[in-house]
Structure 1
Amino acid sequence: MEQPVTAVYDANILYPAPLRDLFIRLAQAGLVQARWTETIHDEWMRNILKNNPQLASERLLRTRMLMNGAVRDCLVTGYEDLIESITLPDLDDRHVLAAAIRAGAKVIVTYNLKDFPQGMLTGFDIEAIHPDDFLVGLLDVAPGVVCAAVKRQRESLRNPPKTTEELLTTLESQGLTQAVARLRTFASLL
């Protein structure tokens, strides 16, 4: 995987806070040119509020603003005209592929691989990739940079703080099983 790889993060990558934090840190470290849209923001925020109605929407709006400020050139615009011409199994995912095309992304990082069949992406030179496989690929090319990003994430956790193993267990619970197995071999660096 060439660095930095331009990747559109699907809403399901931004929904869980631990994953969102790590994947933004990977972008800040220069491994990824992370991209998303206001529509992708709307989707992850809507789902969090649906599943956690007690959460204040202002808090998520602040997170959204911080995310946009944390990653340079993260917002993709001007992709809407492509949506109608795209065919995918789930019509509601066409905006993600349209954004990836407009951004010149090589990958869409998503848990929903079935919604982005490779045969439908090949013509655009884009690949849908599971976050675990994406992180393993980054570990293959820049283990030290990935470890430093995980360490910064762990050190930023204050309420409550987490040990290295607690953070790795959290990431593992998010489906990053292969990557966490690799990261455990670097535990002293995290």
Structure 2
Amino acid sequence: MGVDHPLSGSGLTLAVLDTNVILSPRLSDVLFDLHGAGLYFPRWTADIESEFLDHWAEVVLAKSKADRKTMRLAAADPVHLQLATRRLKCFRAAVGVEYEVFGYQRKSVMDRVPEKVDSGDKHLVAAALVLRDYCEPCDQIYLISDNTKHLAVKEVAALGIEVVKPGKFVDRLFAVAPDRVAAALERTITDLKNPPYTIGQLLGALQLHGASRVVSHFEKVWNLPSS
């Protein structure tokens, strides 16, 4: 079966997913269902997984700022770590062994990361550079992050890598493959049964991450009040 990635014409679409993207439960559900619909290939690294495990509890379980601070300062709870690891295993199973980017820590790669990229985020751009190096010119390489201000968007674009916020990425996919995006969102809703998650809640999560075009469309389709 051939690959049909609509953002890339005859090529592939590969996207490095920043930690802040996969930490968001509903956003990551949607992004992996979009992958399941055959719209792109998600990729990440050992460093991203390490950050995910470090911050999962404070992002997903904390009920307040005080809770987040407490969890951040406390020793890792084995139960929380087990839950976070289970979530990572779901991501890996959805993508397969090809999810992981290797070689991004090599000096020859890191030296090419623009100086304007924040020091704590250089590993993200380096991972995207590895993909750029090994892919064909017709392939599209994205770095998806909610923290684009630290990623020197213009300078990184000059290297053939597009840095975008997750909501904008979802909107772009919808613009070129609306039926497939709709099917992916319907799968997300169907799968979220324990606890159940409403269509309105899902669209609210997407609105939070900037998928304004998708949200506006499906509010009308599903007869929901506008955000």
Following TM superposition, by how much is the alpha carbon of 1:103 offset from its aligned partner in structure 2, in angstroms? Answer: 1.6
Residue type of the alignment partner of 1:83: M
How many angstroms apart in 2 are the aligned matches of 1:111 and 1:178? 17
What residue is the counterpart of 1:77 in the other structure?
102
Following TM superposition, by how much is the alpha carbon of 1:84 offset from its aligned partner in structure 2, in angstroms? Answer: 4.3
Alignment RMSD, CA only?
A: 2.0
Query: With structure 2 as the length reference, what TM-score do the two structures score?
Result: 0.75
What residue is the counterpart of 2:137 in the other structure?
none
Structure 1 unmatched ranges of 5 or more? none
More displaced stretch, 31-40 vs 42-51: 42-51
Residue type of the alignment partner of 1:5: T
Misfit runs of 4+, over 6 Å: none
In structure 2, the CA distance between the partners of 1:47 and 1:84, relative to structure 1 (3 Å rule), is farther
Which aligned pairs between 1:141-160 and structure 2 lie closer than 5 A?
141-160=176-195
Larger Rg: 2
How many angstroms apart in 1 are the aligned matches of 2:28 and 2:55? 14
Identify which of 14, 30, 35 aligns with 2:38. 30
Cα deviation digits, residues 132-162 of structure 1 (max 9, x gap) = 1111100011111111111111011112212
How many angstroms apart in 1 are the aligned matches of 2:101 and 2:158? 20
| 1:162 equivalent in alignment to 2:189 | no
| 1:46 equivalent in alignment to 2:54 | yes
Residue type of the alignment partner of 2:105: E
How many angstroms apart in 2 are the aligned matches of 1:114 and 1:18? 23
Following TM superposition, by how much is the alpha carbon of 1:59 offset from its aligned partner in structure 2, in angstroms? Answer: 0.8
How many angstroms apart in 2 are the aligned matches of 1:183 and 1:33? 24
What residue is the counterpart of 1:95 in the other structure?
123
Identify which of 8, 11, 14 aligns with 1:2. 8
How many angstroms apart in 2 are the aligned matches of 1:185 and 1:45? 38
Following TM superposition, by how much is the alpha carbon of 1:118 offset from its aligned partner in structure 2, in angstroms? Answer: 2.6
How many angstroms apart in 2 are the aligned matches of 1:169 and 1:46? 26
How many angstroms apart in 2 are the aligned matches of 1:83 and 1:40? 16
How many angstroms apart in 2 are the aligned matches of 1:186 and 1:88? 42
Query: With structure 1 as the length reference, what TM-score do the two structures score?
Result: 0.89
More displaced stretch, 80-89 vs 18-27: 80-89
Identify which of 56, 60, 66 aligns with 2:90. 66
Residue type of the alignment partner of 1:18: R
How many angstroms apart in 1 are the aligned matches of 2:209 and 2:56? 15
Following TM superposition, by how much is the alpha carbon of 1:41 offset from its aligned partner in structure 2, in angstroms? Answer: 1.4
Structure 2 unmatched ranges of 5 or more? 1-6, 63-70, 72-76, 133-139
Q: Would you say how many aligned residue pairs link Structure 1 and Structure 2?
A: 188
How many angstroms apart in 2 are the aligned matches of 1:149 and 1:29? 6
Following TM superposition, by how much is the alpha carbon of 1:176 offset from its aligned partner in structure 2, in angstroms? Answer: 3.0
How many angstroms apart in 1 are the aligned matches of 2:205 and 2:117? 31
